[in-house]
Structure 1
Amino acid sequence: MSTSPKSKTGWAIIFVVIFFFFPLKATAANEPVMRVLISQENKARFRADGLKSILVKGISPRPRSIKSIDIIYRNGKIYYSINNNLDSWFELPKSFNLTIENNDKRGIWYKNRRYAGGLTVLLNDQKLQVINYLKLEKYLKSVVGSEMPKEFPLAALQAQAIAARTYALKLLGKNKLFDIHSTQASQVYLGLEAETPKINRAVKSTRRLALFYENKLIEAVFHSSSGGRTENSGQVWKYQLPYLRSVVDYDQKSEKYKWSKKITSSELDSLFTDLGGLNSIQVIKKSNTDRVLKVRLHGPYGNKNISGKSLRQKLKLLSNKFEVDLKFNQKSKDDNLDGMNYLNNKNNFSLYNGITSNLAPFPLPKVPEDYFLLVKGYGAGHGVGMSQWGAKAMAERGSSFRKILKHYYNGVQIKAY
């Protein structure tokens, strides 16, 4: 059916209006841009790499090409200085929004790292918030190198790339100011320095691949090492997800498969001031994979129950898969664990490695200065999802990235997003 010139013009106008007001549909196939929060501090410094300049927008009516810029938030005001001229400072309004860009593949220096893409600086919650804007695949080249050793087999790096891509896509657009942290709060991102040719190959060879369960992006969490078996998500977080179930791990060659930590009596006093120090620890609940879920602490001022996760954070342990014991601070002939047992009969006291619902008959006396708490543990991280050292072992045995991912994430599909 033919149309008149007038009707063709009308359709053209409608198309332009739709494209202008709904551009996301036209660009849906484009690569997403990640907004990565890399810093929240009271000062920031940015500079070009080498002889090239950086382009700064927001300090003058027109973008300025400069070598460096320093920004300070002090006494409720924001000041900036350019080109290392620290004797001359200018004030910015609190509603400022700076963008810093360049066309140099070596990136922009911030602190001791270089970043690709562009950087935005704004004031939020009394801090200078620095956000890195860059395309997803470029972001992943840094994340994979930041999260996993570059020497790992290609299949393990590919599995890490897909897990990290899925994790990032799941968070895209959820926060108003940024999408993701650059730390272990999300996944580690260390800028251009983390890239290597092998890691770039792992990312490029898995481009657009992500993990799905019933056609929805999964929570693609991962960790360093589980200590022999991964954990059910419901034991760590609120919900048990069908694809995050406990499976056998192959992380026995991990540097953190077994570890130990000594904590002195004085350190316990400073860590548990609310209890007046720590006399004893009672493990009262463990998961099926032997992770500590709940403990009871006894001190001179009373006692309280806390989660294994809280105790892990308090004692700065690698995981909550651990056992505790008190030792005398002297090498014993009969004990090769740097000390002798403080408790001869663990069933009579509250410091022991078993599980019970009963409280100890009485708390231990205050730990003397010549005793220490010995914690022996397994693995590193929360233990849910993919084990990075397990992925390495599977790859070394010939498993593909698909086999690795389907082992650690039950029932998932690996397909383009």
Structure 2
Amino acid sequence: MSTSLKSNSRWTIVFIAIFFISPLKAIGAKEPLIRVLIGQENKARFRADGSKSIFVKGISSKQRPIKSINIIYSNGSANYSLNNNLNSWFELPKNFNLIIKNNHERGIWYKNRRYAGELRVSLNDNKLQIINYLKLEKYLKSVVGSEMPKEFPIAALQAQAIAARTYALKLLGKNQFFDIHSTQASQVYLGLEAETAKINRAVKSTSSLALFYKNELIEAVFHSSSGGRTENSGQVWKYQLPYLRSVVDYDQNSIKYRWTKEISSSELDQIFSGLGGLNSIQIIKKSNTDRVLKVRLYGPKGNENISGRTLRKKLKLLSNKFDLNLKFNQINQDDKMMKINYIYGKNKFNLDKKLDSDFAPYPLPVIPIDYFLLVKGYGAGHGVGMSQWGARAMAERGASFHKILKHYYTGVQIKTF
């Protein structure tokens, strides 16, 4: 073969390589990195998986392959040890920024979980701040598996993937140090352990799709179960968004559709110690979907009005869609129940008391020491946006992810970002 023919062949191969490989690289380059806060503590340990190594940049002039690194921050100083040698510690610079990564699909171990991408460790507010840097689609494969059971139908998982992608995109670059929390403060992210083949398929099949309203990314909030009807965003947060409106939910098969919780008088005294305990409680406002918006607390040291969201947090309730009852607690006696019915502008108890609708509701009767406060509630979460159990029910009835998302997010478009 002549030199010219070899040269032509070589350029043909190069051209083919560029033609077929460059578009893939270009697509990959468009995929954003996301910064996930996965830890904020005084000590941390990172290790490789099995016989593999991790690489640490920032503890010497060169990137070092090691098996593990322990870091402790105490008394204004950060120190590290390598490869489980806890007898030998070295001090880190004041403004250290460690980058921990590996080249293996098994990821990096931190707190009994494995993480893809790279982990960056720095000092912020006298804590070791651990941030996971990884590509968005890889992050979503964990989020979908962390937020929704893998057994759910594929259309529900696809809807979750698009909602989670939109939620994450909306937060990119908003914070100086990280984009998103790994907890329910944002959306749950549990690392590589949450991935499955089915979930990965749901994410891949919806790649680059997000939710928009008038060409702007939406606040794609979601929750577990609404208890029959989702809530308007304006009843939960400051603003009423046009696409976060109350709609019928199909979550009746949710394991949290109905729930109860009993709270003893002594527990209430501890929870409301600022009031000297709790003598009585009164629901004074509910939303149109029957969620508690405002309550009045009565204690030995005074009275206080708080929001239904605050009460939910204090009592550790699944949602703020609930009613209050008193349950008698005495050995060898049948349970006795005192039912308190909230009817807008009215409250009825002792069965023989009739109130004029113009008067404010009476408080719940004084909670004796031998009674429980019995909370009977519905649903789990804030109730705004997509209901995950409702998405499951719609998918089981044959609905596509398009139909699910357009039901729970009013007037949105589903398109590539």
Fold shared, TM-score > 0.5 on shorter chain: yes
The whole-number CA distance in structure 2 between the counterparts of 1:387 and 1:190 is 21
Q: Residues 327 and 414 from structure 1, CA distance in 2 versus in 1: closer, same or farther, beyond 3 angstroms? A: same
The whole-number CA distance in structure 2 between the counterparts of 1:316 and 1:101 is 38
Task: Indicate the residue corresponding to 1:83 in structure 2.
Answer: 83
Q: Residues 304 and 55 from structure 1, CA distance in 2 versus in 1: closer, same or farther, beyond 3 angstroms? A: same
Matches within 5 A, 1:146-185: 146-185=146-185
Matches within 5 A, 1:86-235: 86-235=86-235
The whole-number CA distance in structure 1 between the counterparts of 2:51 and 2:348 is 71
Task: Give how far 1:346 is off.
Answer: 6.1
Task: Give how far 1:300 is off.
Answer: 1.3
The whole-number CA distance in structure 2 between the counterparts of 1:201 and 1:241 is 31
The question of whether the paired residues in 1 share the 8 Å contact of 2:324 and 2:339 is answered with: no
Q: Residues 258 and 343 from structure 1, CA distance in 2 versus in 1: closer, same or farther, beyond 3 angstroms? A: closer
Report the residue type matching 2:395 in the other structure: A
Q: Residues 343 and 36 from structure 1, CA distance in 2 versus in 1: closer, same or farther, beyond 3 angstroms? A: closer
Task: Indicate the residue corresponding to 1:341 in structure 2.
Answer: 338
Identity fraction in percent: 77
Instruction: Show CA shifts across 1:6-44 (max 9, x none).
Output: xxxxxxxxxxxxxxxxxxxx9996100000000000001
The whole-number CA distance in structure 1 between the counterparts of 2:44 and 2:89 is 14
Decide which moves more: 276-285 or 147-156. Answer: 276-285
The question of whether the paired residues in 2 share the 8 Å contact of 1:286 and 1:355 is answered with: no
Report the residue type matching 1:287 in the other structure: S
Task: Give how far 1:358 is off.
Answer: 4.3
The question of whether the paired residues in 1 share the 8 Å contact of 2:282 and 2:297 is answered with: yes
Q: Residues 150 and 68 from structure 1, CA distance in 2 versus in 1: closer, same or farther, beyond 3 angstroms? A: same
Report the residue type matching 1:32 in the other structure: P
Decide which moves more: 272-281 or 76-85. Answer: 272-281
Report the residue type matching 2:188 in the other structure: V
SS of aligned partner of 2:348? helix
The question of whether the paired residues in 1 share the 8 Å contact of 2:324 and 2:340 is answered with: no
Task: Give how far 1:93 is off.
Answer: 1.8
The whole-number CA distance in structure 2 between the counterparts of 1:362 and 1:295 is 9
Report the residue type matching 1:256 in the other structure: K
The whole-number CA distance in structure 2 between the counterparts of 1:331 and 1:61 is 71
Report the residue type matching 2:239 in the other structure: Y
SS of aligned partner of 1:207? coil
The whole-number CA distance in structure 1 between the counterparts of 2:88 and 2:271 is 46
Task: Give how far 1:67 is off.
Answer: 0.4
Instruction: Show CA shifts across 1:280-335 (max 9, x none).
Output: 1111110000000001111111111000000000000000000001111148987x
Report the residue type matching 2:195 in the other structure: E
The question of whether the paired residues in 1 share the 8 Å contact of 2:340 and 2:348 is answered with: no
Q: How large is the RMSD of aligned CA atoms in angstroms?
A: 2.3
The whole-number CA distance in structure 2 between the counterparts of 1:332 and 1:229 is 40
Q: Residues 328 and 107 from structure 1, CA distance in 2 versus in 1: closer, same or farther, beyond 3 angstroms? A: same
The question of whether the paired residues in 1 share the 8 Å contact of 2:73 and 2:128 is answered with: yes
Instruction: Show CA shifts across 1:343-387 (max 9, x none).
Output: 7996368xx9x997845668844x332111000000000000000
The question of whether the paired residues in 2 share the 8 Å contact of 1:166 and 1:211 is answered with: yes
SS of aligned partner of 1:277? coil
Q: Residues 361 and 324 from structure 1, CA distance in 2 versus in 1: closer, same or farther, beyond 3 angstroms? A: closer
Q: Residues 52 and 29 from structure 1, CA distance in 2 versus in 1: closer, same or farther, beyond 3 angstroms? A: closer
Q: Residues 361 and 152 from structure 1, CA distance in 2 versus in 1: closer, same or farther, beyond 3 angstroms? A: closer
Report the residue type matching 1:241 in the other structure: L
The question of whether the paired residues in 2 share the 8 Å contact of 1:163 and 1:210 is answered with: yes
Alignment pair present for 1:278 and 2:278: yes
The question of whether the paired residues in 1 share the 8 Å contact of 2:107 and 2:192 is answered with: yes
Q: Residues 227 and 342 from structure 1, CA distance in 2 versus in 1: closer, same or farther, beyond 3 angstroms? A: closer
SS of aligned partner of 2:252? coil
The whole-number CA distance in structure 1 between the counterparts of 2:141 and 2:56 is 26
Task: Indicate the residue corresponding to 1:22 in structure 2.
Answer: none
The whole-number CA distance in structure 2 between the counterparts of 1:205 and 1:389 is 21
Report the residue type matching 1:378 in the other structure: Y
The question of whether the paired residues in 2 share the 8 Å contact of 1:279 and 1:363 is answered with: no
SS of aligned partner of 1:38? strand
Report the residue type matching 2:207 in the other structure: R
Instruction: Show CA shifts across 1:192-217 (max 9, x none).
Output: 00000000000000000000000000
Task: Give how far 1:279 is off.
Answer: 1.2
Report the residue type matching 1:119 in the other structure: L
Decide which moves more: 355-364 or 397-406. Answer: 355-364
The whole-number CA distance in structure 2 between the counterparts of 1:144 and 1:155 is 12
Task: Give how far 1:76 is off.
Answer: 1.1
Task: Indicate the residue corresponding to 1:322 in structure 2.
Answer: 322
Decide which moves more: 339-348 or 215-224. Answer: 339-348
Task: Give how far 1:94 is off.
Answer: 2.1
Task: Indicate the residue corresponding to 2:304 in structure 1.
Answer: 304
Alignment pair present for 1:373 and 2:389: no
Instruction: Show CA shifts across 1:204-253 (max 9, x none).
Output: 00000000000000000000000000000000000000000000000000
SS of aligned partner of 1:157? helix
The question of whether the paired residues in 2 share the 8 Å contact of 1:331 and 1:340 is answered with: no
SS of aligned partner of 2:140? helix
The whole-number CA distance in structure 1 between the counterparts of 2:70 and 2:364 is 56
Matches within 5 A, 1:355-370: 358-359=359-360, 364-365=365-366, 367-370=367-370
The whole-number CA distance in structure 1 between the counterparts of 2:357 and 2:177 is 47
The whole-number CA distance in structure 1 between the counterparts of 2:42 and 2:226 is 38
Matches within 5 A, 1:281-292: 281-292=281-292
Matches within 5 A, 1:15-94: 30-94=30-94
Task: Indicate the residue corresponding to 1:394 in structure 2.
Answer: 394
The question of whether the paired residues in 2 share the 8 Å contact of 1:318 and 1:379 is answered with: yes
Report the residue type matching 1:415 in the other structure: K
Q: TM-score, normalised by structure 1?
A: 0.88
Task: Give how far 1:177 is off.
Answer: 0.6
Q: TM-score, normalised by structure 2?
A: 0.88
Report the residue type matching 1:313 in the other structure: K
Report the residue type matching 1:129 in the other structure: Q
The whole-number CA distance in structure 2 between the counterparts of 1:141 and 1:148 is 11
